[in-house]
Amino acid sequence: MLFRIWLNLSRMLVCMRRKQSVLNEENHAMEKINQDIKLKKKHQRRIKRNRFIWNFFKVSLVILLIFGIYAFDASNTSRIRTLKISGNTTLSDQEIMDALKIEKGDRLAFTHSFVKESKAKKIPGLESIDVNVYYTKGYVSVDVHEVPAVAYQSEGGLKLYYADGYSKDLDENQSNLVLGLPILVGYTEDTISKMMLQYLGELEFEAFSAISEIHHNPQTYDPLAMKLYMNDQYLVYANVETLPMMYMYATLLSSASDGNKCIELNEYGPDEDSSTVTIRACTTDEY
């Protein structure tokens, strides 16, 4: 009887130990699971925190960049502080500035040399232009090369003519622009030949500066014939085709006899020997 009781108690103790062991294992597994869950949550919180910090950094960087750009744009450093236009005589600074769409205070970032130079091609009376932008100094230099002005007209208002055929009206206070240029007399818009203006622009300075007046002198054989009044009291008869012969004006003067002050340029050849020139005395009605 006692043996059976002992046996049962032993069995009960074994079962309790087994249950305790199972419980311990289950508790250990649960603790590990809970620990893994805590670690996972901690890792997720770290990821979220790092992501928030990174996003905050990116947003802050963008805001600082925008503010920096705005502050720079609002400052004098980003603007044209000095604008210098040189080389122009008949075209005003304002005409060039308006055509280039540039002025003091404009943004340097939008001022590019090649863009401005391409716009300059549309300016009448302008042969070429060099635009230099010094971004660190806020300095823009515009060097102008004009088409030479070759004549002017005073009938019906002061008008300036260029070698490329362009003409512009002048104000009374711009009369200094025509100093040293020959005046066109008796001409209309229809009788002013672009080729005549071109040839005048190609003359050497000595011959060109000797011309005082160019009178329209139409003939039955040539409606565009002209008479040139020279500063040295000579008269030169020419037309559009023979006008380039003026390059030998100094040579013609040296061969002219005393009293022969009328020069007729009859035919323009490839050289002086094949050119036909008549030098004679002028009649009283020719002046």
**Chain segment 11-39, per-residue pLDDT in tens:** 665 565 655 555 555 556 666 666 767 77
Query: Which pLDDT tens digit goes with each residue over 136-171?
Result: 888 888 898 889 999 999 988 899 999 999 999 988
Is residue 208 scored above 90 in pLDDT? Answer: yes
Residue 173's pLDDT band, with cuts at 50, 70 and 90, is confident
Contact 263, 237 (CB under 8 A): yes
Percent of the chain with pLDDT over 70: 79
Rg (CA), the chain: 47
Percent of the chain with pLDDT over 90: 24
Is residue 72 scored above 60 in pLDDT? Answer: no
Give how far Cα 179 sits from Cα of 31, 49, 174, 182, 264, Å: 106, 80, 10, 9, 27
Answer whether 0.75 is exceeded by the pTM.
no
- Please say whether the dihedral angle defined by the alpha carbons of residues 54, 55, 57 and 58, taken in this order, is positive or negative: positive
d(CA 141, CA 52): 50
Is residue 69 scored above 80 in pLDDT? Answer: no
- Look at the block and give the residue holding tokens 């302008």: 126
What average pLDDT score do residues 69-78 get?
65
Query: Which pLDDT tens digit goes with each residue over 209-251?
Result: 999 999 999 988 889 999 999 998 899 999 999 999 998 898 8
Residue 195's pLDDT band, with cuts at 50, 70 and 90, is very high
Structure confidence at residue 16 (pLDDT):
59
Structure confidence at residue 132 (pLDDT):
86
Structure confidence at residue 251 (pLDDT):
86
d(CA 43, CA 270): 96
Can you read off the two tokens belonging to residue 67?
């503010």
Q: What mean pLDDT value characterizes the chain?
A: 81
